[in-house]
Amino acid sequence: MDTFIVEAEEPAAALRAELDARQIPARTVALGLARAMVTVKPIELPAVGGELGDMVKFELDRHLPFPADDAPFDFLPLPAESEPGRGPAGERRVLVAAADRRVVDVALRLADGAKLRPVSITVAAHELLALVDAPRAQRVVWVHRAGDAADLLLVQDATLALSRSVPAGDAAQVVAEIRRSLALARWRGCDAVWVSGDGAAAPPAALAELGAPVGAPPWTARARRRLAVIEDEPRGARELALAVASGRGIRPLDLVPAAMKPRRLTRPQQLTAAALAVTVLLALAALLVPGLRDGRRLAGLNAEIGRIEPEVRRVRAVLGALERKRQLLATIDGLDAGAIRPLPVLRELTEILPNDAWLTTLALDTKGVELVGQAAAASTLIPLLENSPRLERVEFASPVTRGRDREQFRIRAAWEAAPAPRATPAGPPAPRARPGAVRP
């Protein structure tokens, strides 16, 4: 970061030329006004309902030395009074900064002439707070001298409570103005006095009369690195320029027109956006985590299946072979059970049929037997065959014909069904003992 001072009749053109000569690719500018050009004062608002901005705008006419109709302004709520009896109960206090419209227009024309887009218009001394680690729960008086003027900043709980511009010539006068500022801020004293700007290396001894330690501000590490670059005098104005350039985010008491303000999220909006982002992330996690967990479980199952798949194939092959052998065995058993055995049948027919009977054809099938032949008396064959334990329903399949000396017959008989096993009759039930009976 570099600092320089432009003094010319055409400051806009000179600023643009200086930026080009230093090869600084600046496109935007933060404008810092001198404290004496802006009215900054705390005002009290009644404790009634309503929009705070409208209430401040309504009260401006009584507090500004110029017309408030078109005056750019901004305000900052002040912390509640911690000391009893220092103000009416229930009132609200705000710190208002307002400037004449002509002052803001001159600053905007300067930025436009330098081909820069203004992002903020603030009091330069107010931006000093961006360079320090302000302590909490303390009241600090900051004296910054730039040329013949000294800017007084009253900081409470790291927040600006009041600012004034006073002559810097007489140290006693500066102390008197500090005491007056303490009264305006309703402070009974302060915890520390910081001195910066021109002559900060040797602060006036009169500041010790305030009863607080006097020293340099607690610059941040980044601020110390940037302040170390400043070697030329006067340091006061350069430190103010560095403070304005170091500001980030939403600047308090910003007088830039609303149409030119960059869109930035306020702290409540940032918290809301963060909560929304967390909600979206949780919803996505709720949707994705079960899928990821199921995917991992499925991958584990697939790996386990792949590991045991060869064994499963071998078991299936063994089961298939066993099933085929079982079916083959069942087929063999079925064939053996339902097969026709001709030899026993022929033996029995040989024993049953008389000697004068001759068979020319013997047909056996699963339903029965058919006999074709000749006999002296074919009708005598029916009862003989009926007495066979293998045959039943013996009858002539066709009429008997008479030959020369024999009768030709065609007999059909069915296989006798196997008798069903008889159920063994149950014995008589044992007599039930009567109560009180005595067994011998």
- For 31, what's the count of Cα atoms within 13 Å in the CB-facing half-sphere? 27
- 415: tokens are 């296989």
Any bridge partners for residue 33, and if so which?
123
The answer to whether the CB of 354 falls within 8 A of the CB of 407 is: no
In this predicted structure, what is the pLDDT of residue 332?
79
- 258: tokens are 């609303």
In this predicted structure, what is the pLDDT of residue 82?
45
Domain 342-415, CATH number (from 1.10.10, 3.30.70, 1.10.3470, 3.30.1360): 3.30.1360
Decide: residue 338, CB within 10 A, 0-12 exposed, 13-18 middle, 19+ buried. exposed
DSSP-based three-state secondary structure for 17: helix
| Calpha distance 83→284 (Å, rounded) | 50
| Calpha distance 224→218 (Å, rounded) | 9
In this predicted structure, what is the pLDDT of residue 88?
55
What is the number of other CB atoms lying within 10 angstroms of the CB of residue 320? 10
- Which overall architecture, per CATH, does domain 11-264 show? 2-Layer Sandwich (3.30)
CA angle 330, 333, 338 (to 5 degrees): 120
Output the DSSP codes for 20-86: HHTT----EEEEEE-GGGSEEEEEEE-S-SS-HHHHHHHHGGGT-SS--SS--EEEEEPPPP-STTS
| Calpha distance 411→39 (Å, rounded) | 141
Phi, then psi, of 239 in degrees rounded to 5? -65, -35
- For 310, what's the count of Cα atoms within 13 Å in the CB-facing half-sphere? 1
Decide: residue 431, CB within 10 A, 0-12 exposed, 13-18 middle, 19+ buried. exposed
pLDDT (tens place) for every residue of the chain, 440 residues total: 677 788 878 888 888 888 888 888 888 889 999 999 999 999 888 776 667 888 888 888 888 888 888 889 999 888 765 444 455 555 788 999 999 999 999 999 999 998 999 989 999 999 999 999 988 889 999 999 998 999 999 999 889 999 999 998 888 999 999 999 999 988 999 999 999 998 887 888 888 899 999 999 999 999 999 888 887 778 889 999 999 988 877 888 989 887 777 666 667 788 898 999 999 999 988 888 888 888 899 999 999 999 999 999 999 999 999 999 999 888 777 765 666 778 888 888 888 888 888 888 988 888 889 999 998 888 888 898 888 888 888 899 889 888 878 889 999 999 887 655 454 454 555 554 444 433 33
What is the number of other CB atoms lying within 10 angstroms of the CB of residue 122? 23
In this predicted structure, what is the pLDDT of residue 214?
92
In this predicted structure, what is the pLDDT of residue 89?
54
| Calpha distance 325→147 (Å, rounded) | 114
- 31: tokens are 């404008």
